[in-house]
Amino acid sequence: MKIILGTFKDNADELAEFLEPRLGAKPEVSGGEISVGDDSIKKTVNTRHVKTYVKRFLWKKGERKNYRVLVQGKELRLIELEPSEAEKEEREKLEEKEKERAKKEEETAKKEAPAVKKEETSPKEVEEAPKEEAKPEAPAEKEEEVKPAAPKEAKKKARKPAAKKSAEKAQPAASPET
């Protein structure tokens, strides 16, 4: 069985590793092809299954929309799809937005960097920070201990008297008739 990769040949080694446990044999990578001996493949695996595995690998890599997998006998062929003009424009817009966002992040990082340096020079602020962190921990523990205990007791008390009253009412009504 052959898998002709075409433009996807850069990922041939990763695809071979992905297919190995599924096929039960180690695929051989050579150039733009992956080949597997028909004798070494599990008997239950056919070319349609391998096509599904290749499509799954493409999906994991984020390339499923860009490739089509064709089966011709014992041969699989990966064909790169040409994006439409609308898709090309969308990709360009997304790339521009990512570049703008990256620039903004760099600018904010530059602005924050001098502020951090000023804080590091004053030892008073650094000493106070650990004290503030220790204070909130103690009240949180007290609240946790009080809250779970109250609802459990209230539920148990409310259930017990109701059960006793129903049993008491049933007994007196039965005794006068007998």
Q: What is the pLDDT of residues 46-90, one digit of tens each?
A: 889 999 999 999 999 998 888 999 999 889 999 988 877 777 788
Distance CA 33, CA 3 (A): 6
Q: Answer whether residue 33 is part of any domain.
A: yes
pLDDT bin (cut points 50, 70, 90) of residue 25 is: confident
Mean pLDDT of 116-142: 51
pLDDT greater than 60 at residue 174: no
Looking at the domain assignment, is residue 7 inside a domain? yes
Same domain, yes or no: 75 and 92: no
CB 12 within 8 A of CB 5: yes
**Mean per-residue pLDDT, 2-31:** 91
**Same-domain status, 29 and 92:** no
3-state secondary structure of 124: helix
- Please, which residues bridge with residue 75 across strands? 2, 72
pLDDT at residue 144 greater than cutoff 50: no
Residue 167 maps to a domain: no
Higher pLDDT, 175 or 67: 67
- 129 and 61 both lie in a single domain: no
Residue 60 is part of which domain span? 2-80
pTM above 0.85, yes or no: no
| Cα distance between residue 44 and residue 133, in whole Å | 61
User: Domain total for the chain?
Assistant: 2
Average pLDDT, the chain: 76
Is 68 within 8 Å of 78 (Cβ atoms)?
A: yes
DSSP-derived 3-state class of residue 80: strand
